Structure 1
Amino acid sequence: MSAYSVVKGFFRHRIIQPVLNLLKQGMTPQKLAVTVALGTMVGIVPALGVTTVMGTAIAARFRLNIAATVLISYLVQPLQLLLIIPFVRLGVFMFGLKELRLSLEEMVAMFKNDWLEALDSLWKANLAAVSAWALIAMPIGGVLYLLLLPIFKKFLPSPVQA
């Protein structure tokens, strides 16, 4: 068995099949587009460890499929890691905070110099990053919804209404 077939089987059984199963649950194209857009935006929030709780709460509030929302947020989490630093930089710029050096050596030096000040700086930078995310999440989520809706309308059958 080749490495390619192992990876292909993993993606088929762990990612593609669960997504296809969710699509077969009778969600309308509109609800699916909202679920994917919401899961994507929750999945890139620049605060590690809050996506599951946040996605569950928002999906429950808007009566969306919680499992689908959380699955989508998990699938986009690599983007979360890629976007944390740009969100921090945008938040620092938006709120006029002291520029934060994010290299490992500079962060270690910050903690060696004054660990309380380092924690304070990182806390403020994280809050600024979440604020920057919050400002752009709604417009980007809306655009994502508008892009996905025609695709889902074309490829998903509309559920039969009783």
Structure 2
Amino acid sequence: MSLFGITVSFLKRRIIQPVANLLKQGMTPHKLAVTVAMGTVVGVVPAIGITTVMGTALAARFRLNIAATVLISYLMQPLQIILIIPFARLGIFIFGLQELRFSLNEITAMFKEDWLNALNLIWKANLAAVASWALLAVPVGFVLYLLVLPLLIRFMPKQVQA
């Protein structure tokens, strides 16, 4: 089997089929749109390791499909890693913190010079990243909901929309 065939098989088995199964569980377009928006927003929180707990808690609170919310947040993990530094830079800018260089050489030099100060700077940058994410989470989630809902209404099977 070719690499393309293996990739297509993997995507069908791990992404397309689970999402299709979620659509068959009787979720309304509104609930699924909220689930997609919330899973996406939670999935890009710039704090590695809390997406499962946060997604589960929010899905339970709003009576959404927990498995769907967590699945979507897991699918967002590559984007989460890509967005950590932009969120940190935005938070540093918003809160007027000391600029932090993000290259490996500069971080290594900071740790060699004063490791406690380096940890302090990285901790503050991480908090600033989470704060900037929190400022953007609700508006971005709302926009995602508004973008996804018409698509789901149009393309979901009619019997599921009842």
- TM-score w.r.t. the length of structure 1 is 0.97
Residues 1:20 and 2:20 aligned together: yes
2:88 is aligned to 88
1:1-162 matches, within 5 Å, as 1-156=1-156, 157=158, 159=160
Partner AA of 1:137 in structure 2:
A
* Distance 1:3-1:159 versus aligned 2 partners, 3 A rule: closer
Distance (whole Å) between structure 1 residues aligned to residue 29 and residue 54 of structure 2: 23
Aligned Cα root-mean-square deviation (Å): 1.0
Distance (whole Å) between structure 1 residues aligned to residue 161 and residue 76 of structure 2: 31
User: In the TM superposition, what is the alpha-carbon distance from 1:159 to its structure 2 partner?
Assistant: 3.6
Aligned-partner SS, 1:83: helix
* Distance 1:160-1:72 versus aligned 2 partners, 3 A rule: closer
1:77-107 per-residue CA deviation (whole Å, 9 max, x = no partner) reads 1111111111000000000000000000000
Flag structure 1 segments of 5+ consecutive residues without an equivalent: none
Equivalent residues of 2:23, 2:160 under 8 A apart: no
Partner AA of 1:88 in structure 2:
A
Flag structure 2 segments of 5+ consecutive residues without an equivalent: none
Equivalent residues of 1:31, 1:64 under 8 A apart: yes
Aligned-partner SS, 2:143: helix
Aligned-partner SS, 2:137: helix
Q: Report how many aligned residue pairs link the two structures.
A: 161
Equivalent residues of 2:29, 2:161 under 8 A apart: no
* Distance 1:6-1:61 versus aligned 2 partners, 3 A rule: same
User: In the TM superposition, what is the alpha-carbon distance from 1:158 to its structure 2 partner?
Assistant: 5.1
1:22-47 per-residue CA deviation (whole Å, 9 max, x = no partner) reads 11100000000000000000000011
- TM-score w.r.t. the length of structure 2 is 0.97
